[in-house]
Amino acid sequence: MKILSTKLGLIGILLLCSVFIITGSAAARTQFISIGTGGTGGIYYPYGGGVAEIWTKYVKDVRAVAEVTGASVENVKLAHKGETVIGEVMGDVAVAGLKGLSKFKGKKHDILSMAIMYPNLLQVVTLKKSGITNIEQIKGRNISSGSPGSGTNFMAETVFKALGIPLDSYNDSRLSFTESANALRDGTIDVGVWSVGPGTSSILDLATTHDIHIISFTSAQQKKILAANKEYSAVDLSGGVYRGVDKPVPTIGVWNVMICQRWLETDLVYNLVKALYEHQDYLIKIHPSAAYTTPENAVKYSPIPLHKGTLKYLKEKGISVPANLLP
């Protein structure tokens, strides 16, 4: 079940009302699960839509829906306020939200990790004809560092600061993935930034009509970036993912985490996690990145403590959890 809306609170009320009308006395048992995703040009939205379908079909008395949002930063805030139940978030943003750092301005948010999704790679895209080959050449240029409230914008600014690139040294349109691709086509921006799983639709589409170049990071640049954020890692974007990008591109990676409200009932989260893992094969059909969504990776890569419902499932599977991931 997929519904496009940014009016999260209103749509939740309307859906709950429709459940009451349709099911009568059973409405008291039906739980509405809203999943904060991102824009339609990335992977969060189709991934979240697949998760919503799994939960609606396989978890008794649950109706889930994927919501279009501004992505990671906004998803942390929405989950904290109770306007969504689940959020898809980049690991660095989850840590900042939990601790009240950076864009969260000292306010700690009531979130916990529910599952690990897949790794994002920072993909800094320009057209070959621009002649831009180094990230530091964005100074004085028109760029898009990602939409406001997104993990892409959060990561881009973190990377720029680590490299000593002043945030006022470039003109930033802060566009969504789809808008960034269109702006590169139109020549209204010189560089677009994506933090997303490899093979995202907006870059794939751009590469079919234009010769693109994905800017690589030098080893020295990678070291500076990793020193500024321990949730990041140095990785390569494989060659052949996008037309015309045939060789591996050294870049930065970060894991995505599915967060949930801290106060959700243990059994509810257990049932959601159980259904997610048991029907992972369906999610992989929607996007191959879901191959990373495993119980083992939840323990290996979660950047913040896990919810008790997830812990219950992991214990059932005989998977030990380190002390730092206990809520």
Say if residue 160's pLDDT is above 60.
Answer: yes
- State the CATH architecture for 8-118+257-325: 3-Layer(aba) Sandwich (3.40)
Region 143-161 average pLDDT: 96
Locate CATH 3.40.190.10 in the chain.
8-118+257-325, 121-254
Cα(59)–Cα(300) distance, integer angstroms: 26
Residues 6+ apart with CB under 8 A from 147: 39, 70, 71, 153, 174, 175, 176, 179
Mean pLDDT for the chain overall:
92
Say if residue 27's pLDDT is above 70.
Answer: no
Region 180-194 average pLDDT: 98
For residue 166, how many other CB atoms are within 10 A of its CB?
9
- Give pLDDT tens digits for 88-138: 999 999 999 999 999 999 999 999 999 999 999 999 999 999 999 999 999
**What pLDDT is recorded for position 119?**
94
Say if residue 20's pLDDT is above 90.
Answer: no
Model confidence, pTM: 0.86
Cα(54)–Cα(180) distance, integer angstroms: 31
**What pLDDT is recorded for position 28?**
52
**What pLDDT is recorded for position 204?**
96
Joined tokens for residue 64: 């889930």
Q: Considering only 17-26, 60-69, 196-205, 220-229, which range has the smallest mean pLDDT?
A: 17-26
- Give pLDDT tens digits for 37-89: 999 888 999 999 999 999 999 999 999 999 999 999 999 999 999 999 999 99
Find tokens 């990785």 and name the residue.
Answer: 235
**What pLDDT is recorded for position 37?**
97
Share of the chain above pLDDT 90, in %: 87
Fold of 121-254: D-Maltodextrin-Binding Protein; domain 2 (3.40.190)
Task: List C-alpha distances in Å: 163 to 156, 157, 316, 323.
Answer: 11, 10, 45, 34
- Give pLDDT tens digits for 263-274: 999 999 999 999
Find tokens 């591109």 and name the residue.
Answer: 249
- Answer with the residue of higher pLDDT: 106 or 7: 106
Residues 6+ apart with CB under 8 A from 131: none
**What pLDDT is recorded for position 40?**
87
DSSP for 256-285? EEEEEETTS-HHHHHHHHHHHHHTHHHHHH
